[in-house]
């Protein structure tokens, strides 16, 4: 029988205006908690974290708890989504001094499968990079050769002495919770493009390091390719590496590279670097 | 004796109306389908009336909807894909909207549960906490200014803020 038909209700509000939603207040206390959870699971994660947490104690408890995020994660039926749901259930962090469940930030930031490097092609100038200028320093120019898949066909260009730039990624800040990082189920894929101006040889170095919370180096990849010679048809090379057996404790990725020319010319004839990427993936096996 | 989809079944809503429904429509509700199978075949009207109200009308409209593909994750995640018919259907007072959610949950009609919960979720989006409280008559029982500062600090990490590196730092 209609159990809800006899439920006591607050005074009926008049029918709403013909707009997209009623102006009058809706008394959500009428909904059982598990259905409030279903309603909130359709709200974007950033709104849940930024606004819904601030509404009242009850909503804060739901946003800071685990159940809501497991409901949201369960909607991703892809292979990666199912793997992540399993990891979220089995790797959940214990409730330590009432900190919000880290799955919330994971759902908001969606760090899996996307490039965590910011401003990879210089489309924002030198923003987001720590830079060291050598010679006439770094500049940003248009690509001379098309780089496949790059969000912008621009690159960072070096000069007649080593130019260096670096970016350090805070994996927890990106939403990757510690138990996931330590699960042995993720891999970190690194990629970079470097190239030359046709009329000048150049040199390039890459160093990617995995660091723990104390900035101790747990793993690293170093690329020291041969220089590109002068008269090179605007050659462009791809460097890649996958860290697949991630040691426990990895919390930061440090990405840095260097470039310079081989001719010692004033101006910007050195190595051109672009489309740097660090992508975290989940093992599906 | 099996009930064919073209047979009909009388269903009584809590409002007292009796709907004569194709069994095909009724079977869209998993709960009723299970009940029918458990009961075997019966004459109409022998069993307890099943309250349906608007849930029935929704199912009638959607009876020919194909089942959603297993991998249609994007459709589930979006809340802006409520059809025009459904939007009109959901322009009801709050009591009815909540009854629809409860009915859809009880009768296990997933499509209706999704669309009703999404429409309430849409009332949360793009509102400040104060506006959310006003919309849903929620009392603010969170800690005061001292707690508020802690909350703002926590939320700073929640927002997309680049606080590791400034624009360009010379090493």
Looking at residue B95, what is its pLDDT? Answer: 75
Average per-residue pLDDT in chain A? 89
Identify which has the larger pLDDT, A189 or B164.
A189
Partner A contacted by B78 (CB < 8 A): no
Question: A213 to chain B, minimum CA–CA distance in Å?
Answer: 14
Any A CB within 8 A of B71 CB: yes
- CB-hemisphere CA count at 13 Å for B158? 25
Dihedral over Cα of A195, A197, A198, A203: its sign: negative
| Residue A234, C-beta contacts closer than 8 angstroms, at least 6 positions apart | A144, A145, A195, A196, A197, A198
* Residue of A1, A15, A21 for testing the chain B interface, max B β-carbons within 10 Å: A21
Are B170 and A132 a contacting pair at CB < 8 A? yes
For β-strands B168-170 and A139-142, DSSP reports them as unpaired
pLDDT computed for residue B98 by the predictor? 83
Could you report the per-residue pLDDT of B52-92, keeping only the tens digit for each?
A: 556 777 777 777 777 665 545 455 566 677 777 777 777 77
Does B122 lie at the interface with A, CB-CB under 8 angstroms?
yes
B167/A1 CB distance under 8 A: no
Across residues A201-229, what is the average pLDDT?
97
pLDDT at residue A4 above 50?
no
Q: Does A128 touch chain B (CB under 8 A)?
A: yes
Would you state the pLDDT for residue B154?
A: 54
CA distance A190 to chain B (A): 20
Measured between beta carbons, the chain B residues lying within 8 angstroms of A76 are 73
- DSSP class per residue in B27-52: TTSHHHHHHHHHH-S--TT-SPPPP-
Q: Which residue of B has its CA nearest to A28?
A: B136
Residue B49 has pLDDT above 50, yes or no: no
- pLDDT(A182) > 90: yes
Tell me what pLDDT residue A20 has: 47
- Tokens 């309430």 belong to B120
Helix A33-40 and helix B110-122, axial crossing angle in degrees, nearest 10: 70
**For residue A41, with 0-12 CB atoms within 10 Å meaning exposed, 13-18 middle and 19 or more buried, which class applies?**
buried
pLDDT higher than 70, residue B36:
no
User: In chain B, which residue's Cα lies nearest the Cα of A77?
Assistant: B71
Interface test with A, best of B17, B73, B125, B132 (most A CBs within 10 A): B132
| CB contact (8 A) between residue B51 and residue A49 | no
What's the pLDDT score for residue A6? 40
- Complex ipTM tops 0.95: no
Contact check, Cβ <8 Å, A25/B155: no
The distance in angstroms from the start CA to the end CA of chain A is 47
What's the mean pLDDT when you consider all of chain B?
66
pLDDT tens by residue, A165-181: 999 999 999 999 999 99
Residue A61 has pLDDT above 60, yes or no: yes
The verdict on a CB contact (< 8 Å) between B103 and A104 is no
Q: Does B149 touch chain A (CB under 8 A)?
A: no
Query: What is the pLDDT confidence band of residue B166, given thresholds at 50, 70 and 90?
Result: very low
**Whole-number pLDDT of residue A117:** 98
Please tell me the predicted confidence (pLDDT) of residue B82. Answer: 73
Q: Is A148 on the interface with B (CB under 8 A)?
A: no
- Count of A-B CB contacts under 8 Å: 174
Give A140→chain B minimum CA distance, Å: 13
Q: What is the pLDDT of residue A48?
A: 96
Residues 156-185 of A with CB under 8 A from B: 164, 166-168, 170, 173
Percent pLDDT > 90 in chain A is 82
Please state, for a pLDDT cut of 70, what percent of chain B lies above it. Answer: 43
Closest CB from A25, A50, A76 relative to B136 = A25
Test B137 with A60 for CB contact under 8 angstroms.
Answer: no
At residue A22, the pLDDT reads 47
Q: What tens digit of pLDDT does each residue of A128-177 get?
A: 999 999 999 999 999 999 999 999 999 999 999 999 999 999 999 999 99
> Domains along chain A?
33-109 (1.20.1280), 114-282 (2.60.120.260)
Residue A257: per-residue pLDDT: 98
Residue B76: what pLDDT? 56
Name the residue with higher pLDDT: B3 or B89: B89
Higher pLDDT, B62 or A123: A123
Q: What is the pTM of this model?
A: 0.74
The closest of B62, B164, B154, B152 to B115, measured between CA atoms, is B62
Interface test with A, best of B87, B105, B168, B170 (most A CBs within 10 A): B168
Q: Which of residues 13-42 of B touch A (CB under 8 A)?
A: 14
Tokens describing residue A170: 């805070």
């Amino acid at each position: 029988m209609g159990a809800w038909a006899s439920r006591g209700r607050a005074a009926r509000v008049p029918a709403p205006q013909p707009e997209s939603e009623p102006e009058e207040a809706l008394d959500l206390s009428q909904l059982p908690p598990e259905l409030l959870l279903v309603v909130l699971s359709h709200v974007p994660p950033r709104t849940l974290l930024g606004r819904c947490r601030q509404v009242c104690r009850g909503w804060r408890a739901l946003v800071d708890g685990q159940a809501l995020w497991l409901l949201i994660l369960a909607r991703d039926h892809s292979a990666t989504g199912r793997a992540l749901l399993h990891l979220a259930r089995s790797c959940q962090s214990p409730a330590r001094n009432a900190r919000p469940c880290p799955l919330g930030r994971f759902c908001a930031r969606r760090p899996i499968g996307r490039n965590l490097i910011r401003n990879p092609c210089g489309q924002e100038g030198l923003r987001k990079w720590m830079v060291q200028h050598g010679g006439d320093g770094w500049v940003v120019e248009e690509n001379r050769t098309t780089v496949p898949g790059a969000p912008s066909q621009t690159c960072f260009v070096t000069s007649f002495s080593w130019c260096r730039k670096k970016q350090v990624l805070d994996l927890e800040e990106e939403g990757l919770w510690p138990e996931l990082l330590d699960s042995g189920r993720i891999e970190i894929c690194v990629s970079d493009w470097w190239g030359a101006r046709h009329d000048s040889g150049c040199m390039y170095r890459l160093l990617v390091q995995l660091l723990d919370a104390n900035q101790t180096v747990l793993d690293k990849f170093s690329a020291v390719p041969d220089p590109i010679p002068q008269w090179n048809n605007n050659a462009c090379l791809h460097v890649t590496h996958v860290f697949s057996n991630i040691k426990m404790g990895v919390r930061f990725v440090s990405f840095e590279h260097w470039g310079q020319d081989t001719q010692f010319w004033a101006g910007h004839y050195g190595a051109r670097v672009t489309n740097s990427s660090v992508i975290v993936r989940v093992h599906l096996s | 004796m099996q009930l064919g989809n073209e047979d009909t079944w009388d269903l009584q809503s809590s409002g007292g109306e009796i709907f004569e429904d194709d069994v095909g429509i009724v079977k869209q509700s998993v709960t009723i389908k299970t009940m029918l199978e458990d009961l075997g075949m019966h004459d109409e009207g022998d069993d307890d009336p099943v309250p349906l109200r608007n849930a029935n009308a929704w199912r009638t409209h959607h009876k020919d909807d194909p089942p959603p593909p297993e991998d249609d994750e994007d459709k589930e995640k979006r809340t802006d894909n409520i059809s025009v018919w459904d939007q009109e259907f959901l322009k009801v007072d709050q009591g009815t909207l909540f009854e629809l959610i409860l009915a859809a949950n009880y009768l296990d009609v997933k499509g209706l549960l999704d669309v009703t919960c999404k429409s309430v979720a849409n009332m949360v989006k793009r509102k400040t906490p104060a506006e959310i409280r006003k919309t849903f008559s929620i009392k603010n029982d969170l800690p005061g200014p001292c707690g508020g500062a802690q909350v703002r600090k926590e939320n700073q990490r929640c927002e997309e803020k680049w606080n590791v590196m400034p624009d360009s730092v010379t090493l």
